[in-house]
Structure 1
Protein backbone atom coordinates (compact mmCIF):
# COMPACT_ATOMS: atom_id res chain seq x y z
CA UNK A 1 0.00 0.00 0.00
CA UNK A 2 1.47 3.36 -0.95
CA UNK A 3 1.94 6.14 1.60
CA UNK A 4 -0.97 8.26 0.31
CA UNK A 5 -3.44 5.34 0.47
CA UNK A 6 -2.14 4.39 3.91
CA UNK A 7 -2.54 7.96 5.18
CA UNK A 8 -6.09 8.13 3.80
CA UNK A 9 -6.94 4.90 5.65
CA UNK A 10 -5.40 6.27 8.86
CA UNK A 11 -7.32 9.54 8.68
CA UNK A 12 -10.54 7.64 7.97
CA UNK A 13 -9.91 5.35 10.96
CA UNK A 14 -9.22 8.29 13.26
CA UNK A 15 -12.37 10.05 12.05
CA UNK A 16 -14.45 6.91 12.62
CA UNK A 17 -13.01 6.50 16.13
CA UNK A 18 -13.63 10.16 16.91
CA UNK A 19 -17.18 9.95 15.57
CA UNK A 20 -17.92 6.80 17.52
CA UNK A 21 -16.73 8.46 20.69
CA UNK A 22 -19.45 11.07 20.36
CA UNK A 23 -22.31 8.65 19.68
CA UNK A 24 -24.89 8.27 22.39
CA UNK A 25 -23.99 11.44 24.29
CA UNK A 26 -27.03 13.66 24.69
CA UNK A 27 -25.27 16.19 26.87
CA UNK A 28 -21.88 17.86 26.66
CA UNK A 29 -19.04 16.09 28.40
CA UNK A 30 -17.79 17.98 31.46
CA UNK A 31 -14.47 19.69 30.86
CA UNK A 32 -12.68 17.55 33.46
CA UNK A 33 -13.76 14.16 32.13
CA UNK A 34 -13.07 12.17 29.00
CA UNK A 35 -15.65 9.80 27.50
CA UNK A 36 -14.97 6.11 27.96
CA UNK A 37 -13.27 5.94 24.55
CA UNK A 38 -10.47 8.19 25.81
CA UNK A 39 -11.06 10.83 23.12
CA UNK A 40 -11.62 14.25 24.67
CA UNK A 41 -14.68 15.82 23.02
CA UNK A 42 -16.95 18.76 23.75
CA UNK A 43 -20.23 19.78 22.17
CA UNK A 44 -19.97 23.41 23.21
CA UNK A 45 -17.35 25.81 21.83
CA UNK A 46 -15.96 26.68 25.23
CA UNK A 47 -12.24 26.60 24.63
CA UNK A 48 -9.98 29.55 24.01
CA UNK A 49 -9.56 31.90 21.09
CA UNK A 50 -10.94 31.17 17.65
CA UNK A 51 -8.39 30.86 14.88
CA UNK A 52 -7.85 29.52 11.37
CA UNK A 53 -5.00 27.08 10.76
CA UNK A 54 -2.95 28.44 7.86
CA UNK A 55 -0.31 25.75 7.58
CA UNK A 56 1.59 23.02 9.39
CA UNK A 57 5.31 23.37 10.13
CA UNK A 58 5.62 19.80 11.39
CA UNK A 59 3.51 17.32 13.35
CA UNK A 60 3.33 19.39 16.55
CA UNK A 61 3.83 22.96 15.29
CA UNK A 62 1.32 24.98 13.26
CA UNK A 63 0.79 28.53 12.01
CA UNK A 64 -2.64 30.02 12.70
CA UNK A 65 -4.38 33.38 12.44
CA UNK A 66 -6.74 34.53 15.18
CA UNK A 67 -10.26 35.15 13.86
CA UNK A 68 -11.51 37.19 16.82
CA UNK A 69 -10.85 40.49 15.06
CA UNK A 70 -7.15 40.83 15.77
CA UNK A 71 -6.04 38.86 12.68
CA UNK A 72 -2.78 38.24 14.55
CA UNK A 73 -0.72 35.38 13.13
CA UNK A 74 0.81 33.03 15.68
CA UNK A 75 2.98 29.92 15.74
CA UNK A 76 1.41 27.20 17.90
CA UNK A 77 3.26 24.35 19.64
CA UNK A 78 0.87 21.61 20.78
CA UNK A 79 0.86 21.00 24.53
CA UNK A 80 1.49 17.46 25.77
CA UNK A 81 2.65 15.84 22.55
CA UNK A 82 5.90 15.38 20.69
CA UNK A 83 5.88 14.14 17.12
CA UNK A 84 8.93 12.70 15.37
CA UNK A 85 11.14 15.43 13.92
CA UNK A 86 11.05 16.56 10.30
CA UNK A 87 12.27 20.18 10.46
CA UNK A 88 14.65 20.42 13.44
CA UNK A 89 18.03 21.84 12.37
CA UNK A 90 20.91 19.36 12.47
CA UNK A 91 18.50 16.48 13.16
CA UNK A 92 17.68 13.84 10.56
CA UNK A 93 14.05 13.18 9.67
CA UNK A 94 12.84 10.65 12.24
CA UNK A 95 10.78 7.51 11.74
CA UNK A 96 7.11 8.41 11.29
CA UNK A 97 7.88 12.15 11.17
CA UNK A 98 6.54 12.66 7.63
CA UNK A 99 3.37 10.69 8.41
CA UNK A 100 2.76 12.67 11.63
CA UNK A 101 3.21 15.96 9.76
CA UNK A 102 0.91 14.79 6.96
CA UNK A 103 -1.76 13.73 9.46
CA UNK A 104 -1.61 17.07 11.27
CA UNK A 105 -1.83 18.85 7.92
CA UNK A 106 -4.81 16.80 6.77
CA UNK A 107 -6.69 17.23 10.06
CA UNK A 108 -5.98 20.91 10.74
CA UNK A 109 -4.88 23.02 7.75
CA UNK A 110 -7.69 25.22 6.51
CA UNK A 111 -9.92 24.50 9.50
CA UNK A 112 -11.48 26.80 12.07
CA UNK A 113 -10.20 25.90 15.51
CA UNK A 114 -10.19 27.12 19.09
CA UNK A 115 -6.82 27.54 20.77
CA UNK A 116 -6.96 26.60 24.45
CA UNK A 117 -4.05 27.64 26.64
CA UNK A 118 -3.32 26.00 29.97
CA UNK A 119 -2.58 27.97 33.15
CA UNK A 120 -0.49 25.02 34.39
CA UNK A 121 2.11 25.50 31.65
CA UNK A 122 4.05 28.41 30.23
CA UNK A 123 2.17 30.60 27.76
CA UNK A 124 5.02 30.48 25.22
CA UNK A 125 8.04 28.23 24.85
CA UNK A 126 11.68 29.24 24.52
CA UNK A 127 11.23 29.62 20.75
CA UNK A 128 8.35 32.09 21.14
CA UNK A 129 5.66 29.62 20.10
CA UNK A 130 2.26 29.84 21.81
CA UNK A 131 1.57 26.62 23.74
CA UNK A 132 -1.98 25.39 23.20
CA UNK A 133 -4.46 22.59 22.74
CA UNK A 134 -6.09 22.82 19.31
CA UNK A 135 -9.80 22.08 19.18
CA UNK A 136 -10.89 21.44 15.59
CA UNK A 137 -14.39 22.76 14.97
CA UNK A 138 -16.92 20.52 13.25
CA UNK A 139 -20.09 22.62 12.79
CA UNK A 140 -23.09 20.65 14.00
CA UNK A 141 -20.84 18.04 15.62
CA UNK A 142 -18.51 17.71 18.57
CA UNK A 143 -15.14 19.46 18.43
CA UNK A 144 -12.10 17.18 18.55
CA UNK A 145 -8.74 17.92 20.12
CA UNK A 146 -5.87 17.60 17.65
CA UNK A 147 -3.30 16.92 20.39
CA UNK A 148 -5.07 13.80 21.60
CA UNK A 149 -6.03 12.64 18.11
CA UNK A 150 -2.32 12.48 17.24
CA UNK A 151 -1.65 10.34 20.32
CA UNK A 152 -4.58 8.04 19.54
CA UNK A 153 -3.27 7.53 15.99
CA UNK A 154 0.24 6.75 17.24
CA UNK A 155 1.58 9.86 15.48
CA UNK A 156 3.01 11.38 18.67
CA UNK A 157 4.42 10.57 22.08
CA UNK A 158 3.04 12.10 25.28
CA UNK A 159 5.34 14.91 26.39
CA UNK A 160 5.24 16.63 29.78
CA UNK A 161 7.82 19.39 29.41
CA UNK A 162 9.54 20.14 32.72
CA UNK A 163 6.90 18.06 34.60
CA UNK A 164 4.34 20.88 34.43
CA UNK A 165 1.38 18.52 35.03
CA UNK A 166 -0.69 19.93 32.16
CA UNK A 167 -4.49 19.76 32.19
CA UNK A 168 -5.09 16.69 29.99
CA UNK A 169 -2.03 14.69 31.03
CA UNK A 170 -3.94 11.65 32.32
CA UNK A 171 -6.10 11.43 29.18
CA UNK A 172 -3.06 11.84 26.94
CA UNK A 173 -1.15 9.11 28.75
CA UNK A 174 -4.15 6.78 28.45
CA UNK A 175 -4.39 7.53 24.71
CA UNK A 176 -0.68 6.79 24.26
CA UNK A 177 -0.96 3.52 26.19
CA UNK A 178 -3.87 2.43 23.98
CA UNK A 179 -1.91 3.33 20.83
CA UNK A 180 1.09 1.35 22.10
CA UNK A 181 -1.07 -1.72 22.79
CA UNK A 182 -2.59 -1.45 19.30
CA UNK A 183 0.85 -0.83 17.78
CA UNK A 184 -0.65 2.18 16.02
CA UNK A 185 1.51 4.48 13.93
CA UNK A 186 5.06 4.88 15.19
CA UNK A 187 4.49 2.25 17.90
CA UNK A 188 4.17 -0.45 15.24
CA UNK A 189 6.71 0.79 12.72
CA UNK A 190 9.59 2.48 14.51
CA UNK A 191 10.84 -0.08 16.99
CA UNK A 192 9.53 2.10 19.82
CA UNK A 193 8.22 0.59 23.04
Structure 2
Protein backbone atom coordinates (compact mmCIF):
# COMPACT_ATOMS: atom_id res chain seq x y z
CA UNK A 1 0.00 0.00 0.00
CA UNK A 2 1.36 3.40 -0.94
CA UNK A 3 1.47 6.38 1.41
CA UNK A 4 -1.24 8.07 -0.65
CA UNK A 5 -3.51 5.03 -0.37
CA UNK A 6 -2.91 4.86 3.37
CA UNK A 7 -3.78 8.53 3.81
CA UNK A 8 -6.88 8.19 1.63
CA UNK A 9 -8.00 5.12 3.57
CA UNK A 10 -7.43 6.93 6.86
CA UNK A 11 -9.44 9.94 5.74
CA UNK A 12 -12.25 7.68 4.51
CA UNK A 13 -12.39 5.91 7.86
CA UNK A 14 -12.39 9.24 9.69
CA UNK A 15 -15.26 10.45 7.51
CA UNK A 16 -17.23 7.29 8.33
CA UNK A 17 -16.68 7.79 12.06
CA UNK A 18 -17.76 11.43 11.82
CA UNK A 19 -20.89 10.49 9.87
CA UNK A 20 -21.79 7.78 12.36
CA UNK A 21 -21.31 10.14 15.29
CA UNK A 22 -23.36 12.88 13.63
CA UNK A 23 -26.24 10.47 13.00
CA UNK A 24 -26.07 9.25 16.59
CA UNK A 25 -26.02 12.79 17.99
CA UNK A 26 -29.02 13.91 15.95
CA UNK A 27 -30.93 10.74 16.85
CA UNK A 28 -30.27 11.19 20.56
CA UNK A 29 -31.46 14.80 20.42
CA UNK A 30 -34.67 13.82 18.65
CA UNK A 31 -35.33 10.89 20.99
CA UNK A 32 -34.94 13.12 24.03
CA UNK A 33 -37.10 15.88 22.56
CA UNK A 34 -39.95 13.68 21.27
CA UNK A 35 -39.55 10.28 22.88
CA UNK A 36 -37.98 7.26 21.24
CA UNK A 37 -41.19 5.70 19.92
CA UNK A 38 -42.31 8.91 18.17
CA UNK A 39 -39.14 9.36 16.09
CA UNK A 40 -38.68 7.55 12.77
CA UNK A 41 -35.58 6.62 10.82
CA UNK A 42 -36.69 9.18 8.24
CA UNK A 43 -36.72 11.88 10.95
CA UNK A 44 -33.16 11.01 11.92
CA UNK A 45 -31.99 10.96 8.32
CA UNK A 46 -33.52 14.38 7.67
CA UNK A 47 -31.94 15.87 10.78
CA UNK A 48 -28.52 14.45 9.91
CA UNK A 49 -28.95 15.38 6.24
CA UNK A 50 -28.23 11.87 5.00
CA UNK A 51 -30.24 9.20 3.20
CA UNK A 52 -32.33 6.71 5.18
CA UNK A 53 -30.14 3.94 3.81
CA UNK A 54 -27.07 5.67 5.25
CA UNK A 55 -28.66 5.61 8.69
CA UNK A 56 -29.52 1.92 8.45
CA UNK A 57 -26.07 1.08 7.11
CA UNK A 58 -24.56 2.40 10.33
CA UNK A 59 -27.42 1.40 12.63
CA UNK A 60 -29.40 -1.62 11.33
CA UNK A 61 -32.01 -1.24 14.06
CA UNK A 62 -33.60 1.93 15.34
CA UNK A 63 -32.85 0.88 18.93
CA UNK A 64 -29.14 0.86 18.12
CA UNK A 65 -29.32 4.60 17.44
CA UNK A 66 -30.18 5.19 21.08
CA UNK A 67 -27.94 2.48 22.54
CA UNK A 68 -24.88 3.35 20.49
CA UNK A 69 -22.34 1.93 22.95
CA UNK A 70 -23.61 -1.57 22.20
CA UNK A 71 -20.40 -2.95 20.68
CA UNK A 72 -18.34 -1.88 23.69
CA UNK A 73 -21.04 -3.09 26.06
CA UNK A 74 -21.35 -6.56 24.52
CA UNK A 75 -17.59 -7.11 24.29
CA UNK A 76 -16.63 -5.59 27.64
CA UNK A 77 -16.66 -8.67 29.91
CA UNK A 78 -14.98 -11.02 27.45
CA UNK A 79 -12.38 -8.37 26.62
CA UNK A 80 -11.59 -7.82 30.31
CA UNK A 81 -11.11 -11.54 30.87
CA UNK A 82 -8.98 -11.93 27.75
CA UNK A 83 -6.68 -9.08 28.83
CA UNK A 84 -6.14 -10.13 32.45
CA UNK A 85 -2.55 -10.71 33.60
CA UNK A 86 -1.01 -14.02 34.62
CA UNK A 87 -2.06 -15.20 38.05
CA UNK A 88 -5.42 -13.41 37.99
CA UNK A 89 -8.78 -15.16 37.85
CA UNK A 90 -11.64 -14.18 35.56
CA UNK A 91 -13.59 -13.20 38.68
CA UNK A 92 -10.77 -10.99 39.98
CA UNK A 93 -10.31 -9.27 36.63
CA UNK A 94 -14.00 -8.46 36.28
CA UNK A 95 -14.32 -7.18 39.83
CA UNK A 96 -11.27 -4.94 39.44
CA UNK A 97 -12.54 -3.63 36.12
CA UNK A 98 -15.94 -2.84 37.62
CA UNK A 99 -14.36 -0.94 40.49
CA UNK A 100 -12.40 1.14 38.02
CA UNK A 101 -15.45 1.79 35.87
CA UNK A 102 -17.36 3.07 38.91
CA UNK A 103 -14.57 5.52 39.66
CA UNK A 104 -14.81 6.78 36.04
CA UNK A 105 -18.62 6.82 36.19
CA UNK A 106 -18.50 4.91 32.93
CA UNK A 107 -21.66 5.24 30.75
CA UNK A 108 -21.37 1.53 29.95
CA UNK A 109 -22.29 0.84 33.59
CA UNK A 110 -25.46 2.92 33.23
CA UNK A 111 -24.19 6.38 34.17
CA UNK A 112 -26.39 7.97 31.53
CA UNK A 113 -28.11 10.87 33.26
CA UNK A 114 -31.81 11.11 34.16
CA UNK A 115 -33.09 12.20 30.74
CA UNK A 116 -31.49 9.28 28.91
CA UNK A 117 -32.44 6.82 31.64
CA UNK A 118 -36.06 7.94 31.45
CA UNK A 119 -36.04 7.55 27.67
CA UNK A 120 -34.97 3.91 28.05
CA UNK A 121 -37.42 3.19 30.85
CA UNK A 122 -40.33 4.65 28.90
CA UNK A 123 -39.69 2.58 25.77
CA UNK A 124 -40.51 -1.14 25.73
CA UNK A 125 -38.47 -1.46 22.52
CA UNK A 126 -35.33 -0.02 24.13
CA UNK A 127 -35.81 -2.06 27.29
CA UNK A 128 -36.09 -5.23 25.21
CA UNK A 129 -33.05 -4.36 23.11
CA UNK A 130 -31.04 -3.72 26.25
CA UNK A 131 -31.94 -7.21 27.46
CA UNK A 132 -30.64 -8.54 24.15
CA UNK A 133 -27.32 -6.80 24.75
CA UNK A 134 -27.05 -8.27 28.24
CA UNK A 135 -27.65 -11.73 26.76
CA UNK A 136 -25.08 -11.20 24.02
CA UNK A 137 -22.54 -9.99 26.58
CA UNK A 138 -23.06 -13.14 28.62
CA UNK A 139 -22.61 -15.30 25.51
CA UNK A 140 -19.40 -13.51 24.58
CA UNK A 141 -18.02 -14.05 28.07
CA UNK A 142 -18.99 -17.73 28.01
CA UNK A 143 -17.21 -18.12 24.69
CA UNK A 144 -14.01 -16.58 26.01
CA UNK A 145 -14.05 -18.69 29.17
CA UNK A 146 -14.75 -21.87 27.19
CA UNK A 147 -11.91 -21.07 24.80
CA UNK A 148 -9.49 -20.69 27.69
CA UNK A 149 -10.60 -23.54 29.92
CA UNK A 150 -11.95 -26.07 27.42
CA UNK A 151 -14.94 -26.73 29.70
CA UNK A 152 -18.02 -25.41 27.91
CA UNK A 153 -20.60 -26.25 30.56
CA UNK A 154 -18.71 -24.70 33.46
CA UNK A 155 -17.85 -21.69 31.31
CA UNK A 156 -21.53 -21.11 30.56
CA UNK A 157 -22.49 -21.42 34.23
CA UNK A 158 -19.70 -19.07 35.32
CA UNK A 159 -20.59 -16.55 32.61
CA UNK A 160 -24.27 -16.65 33.61
CA UNK A 161 -23.40 -15.87 37.24
CA UNK A 162 -20.88 -13.15 36.45
CA UNK A 163 -23.14 -11.55 33.87
CA UNK A 164 -26.03 -11.62 36.34
CA UNK A 165 -24.01 -9.54 38.77
CA UNK A 166 -23.26 -6.99 36.05
CA UNK A 167 -26.89 -6.93 34.92
CA UNK A 168 -28.12 -6.42 38.49
CA UNK A 169 -25.70 -3.58 39.13
CA UNK A 170 -26.59 -1.95 35.80
CA UNK A 171 -30.28 -2.03 36.69
CA UNK A 172 -29.49 -0.63 40.13
CA UNK A 173 -27.62 2.25 38.51
CA UNK A 174 -30.58 3.06 36.27
CA UNK A 175 -33.00 2.82 39.19
CA UNK A 176 -31.01 5.28 41.25
CA UNK A 177 -30.68 7.59 38.26
CA UNK A 178 -34.45 7.60 37.77
CA UNK A 179 -34.84 8.29 41.50
CA UNK A 180 -32.97 11.55 40.97
CA UNK A 181 -29.63 10.61 42.50
CA UNK A 182 -26.54 12.39 41.22
CA UNK A 183 -23.73 10.43 39.58
CA UNK A 184 -21.41 10.84 42.61
CA UNK A 185 -24.20 9.58 44.89
CA UNK A 186 -24.84 6.64 42.59
CA UNK A 187 -21.13 5.82 42.39
CA UNK A 188 -20.82 5.80 46.17
CA UNK A 189 -23.82 3.49 46.59
CA UNK A 190 -22.76 1.31 43.67
CA UNK A 191 -19.31 0.81 45.17
CA UNK A 192 -20.92 -0.79 48.22
CA UNK A 193 -23.35 -2.86 46.15
CA UNK A 194 -20.50 -4.06 43.94
CA UNK A 195 -18.54 -5.46 46.87
CA UNK A 196 -21.66 -7.18 48.23
CA UNK A 197 -22.63 -8.66 44.86
CA UNK A 198 -19.20 -10.00 43.96
CA UNK A 199 -18.76 -11.37 47.48
CA UNK A 200 -21.73 -13.69 46.85
CA UNK A 201 -19.87 -15.29 43.93
CA UNK A 202 -16.36 -15.32 45.36
CA UNK A 203 -16.59 -18.69 47.17
CA UNK A 204 -17.58 -20.40 43.93
CA UNK A 205 -15.65 -18.41 41.32
CA UNK A 206 -12.81 -16.63 43.11
CA UNK A 207 -10.27 -19.19 41.90
CA UNK A 208 -11.95 -20.08 38.61
CA UNK A 209 -10.01 -19.64 35.37
CA UNK A 210 -6.82 -18.31 36.92
CA UNK A 211 -4.47 -17.41 34.10
CA UNK A 212 -1.31 -19.48 34.20
CA UNK A 213 1.97 -17.72 34.91
TM-score (norm 1): 0.27
TM-score for both structures, normalised by structure 2: 0.25
Larger Rg: 2
Higher strand share: 1
Could you say which structure has the higher helix fraction? 2
The one of the two structures with greater contact order (alpha-carbon pairs below 8 A, sep at least 6) is 2
